Amino acid sequence: MIKHSVSLTPNQQGHWFIVNRGRIWLTSQRQIPRGRYNELTLSAEPEQVCRLGELDGLPAMLLVNHDHIADEAQWASPRELLSQGDAVFQLAARAVQVALFLQTHRFCGQCGSAMSLVSWELAALCNKCGHRCYPRIAPCVLVGIAHQNKILLARSSRHRQGFFSILAGFVESAETLEQAAVREVKEEVGVDITNLRYVGSQPWPFPHSLMTGFIADYAGGDIRCQEHEIEEAAWFSLDALPEVPPLETLSGQIIARLQQMAAK
């Protein structure tokens, strides 16, 4: 549980996840700062501090920083911390998402009054009308589609030339993960899928997504790219892929699993 009733002392030890505009402050060695609170060069407002969890036996603390960013090179996106292991990346992803929640829930969306943090859970409460808010989590489906030792990959309008990934999309209201997977694939590339199997999940600070991964078999249809969303899509041999997401990502892990299945 994330606890907000944190009373910082100058000698408080911890790993410090300092967030500003969705980015995290790193030391000159590209690491999360570790040590005493009074050794930090950046400050945070008391109500913008909370404990995220634990890392290597020390508290992992979030500090929401509003100072001017002096050195842009020392700020990084959580994605840049993927190579430092799951524990660091997940705490970084949580830090960015919780920081966004704290910044966007200072006032009640129902009556406009000031909100206060609930000390025993991660929630913002309006003491005037009783409206309570929790951090938003937006589930997203990833689908790796296989057919005759090939995989269907696409490049969205947000990706650079030559970079491809599996199909992805957000779950809509009152929709199951499985329904979203079938719908998103049909909308984005025009094909039908069958034999949908769950692979795993990964939190993703985009800015508050939960990626849920599936593999599926091709069931029919010709590729038709969704306008304004998919720039290009094609079937690629699983042993001759273009540039794809790294193994640290769920998308990369799904692609690797399909490669392993094809090699058996």
SS3 state of residue 150 = strand
Residue 216, pLDDT above cutoff 50: yes
Supply the CATH number for residue 254's domain: 3.90.79.10
DSSP 97-126: HHHHHHHH-SB-TTT-PBEEE-TTSS-EEE
Residue 255, pLDDT above cutoff 70: yes
Same domain, yes or no, for 177 and 252? yes
In a domain, 91, yes or no: yes
Same domain, yes or no, for 90 and 171? no
Pick from 86, 11, 25: nearest CA to 55: 86
- Of all residues in the chain, the percent with pLDDT exceeding 90 is 66
State the residue for tokens 């199951």: 176
Determine the straight-line distance between the first and last CA of the chain, rounded to whole angstroms: 42
Assessment of whether the complete model's pTM goes beyond 0.75: yes
Mean pLDDT for the stretch of residues 19-23:
89
Residue 68, pLDDT above cutoff 70: no
Consecutive H or E run containing 58: strand 58-64
User: 43 lies in which domain range?
Assistant: 13-104
Summarize pLDDT for 131-164 with one digit per residue, the tens: 999 999 999 999 999 999 999 999 998 888 999 9
Amino acid code (one letter) for 26: L
Residue-level pLDDT at 180: 98
Amino acid code (one letter) for 178: E
Same domain, yes or no, for 95 and 39? yes
Domain count, the chain: 2
Residue 2, pLDDT above cutoff 50: no
State the residue for tokens 């969306």: 109
Residue 35, pLDDT above cutoff 80: yes
Q: The tokens of 107 are what?
A: 């006032």
Summarize pLDDT for 232-247 with one digit per residue, the tens: 999 999 999 999 999 9
In a domain, 65, yes or no: yes
- By the 8 A CB rule, do 62 and 17 touch? yes
Supply the CATH number for residue 30's domain: 3.90.79.20
- By the 8 A CB rule, do 93 and 204 touch? yes
In a domain, 129, yes or no: no
Residue at a domain's end among 104, 124, 148: 104
In a domain, 155, yes or no: yes
Buried b / exposed e over 175-199, threshold 16 CB at 10 Å, is eebeebbbebbbebbebebeebeeb
DSSP 191-238: -EEEEEEEEEEEEETTTTEEEEEEEEEEEE----PPTTTEEEEEEEET
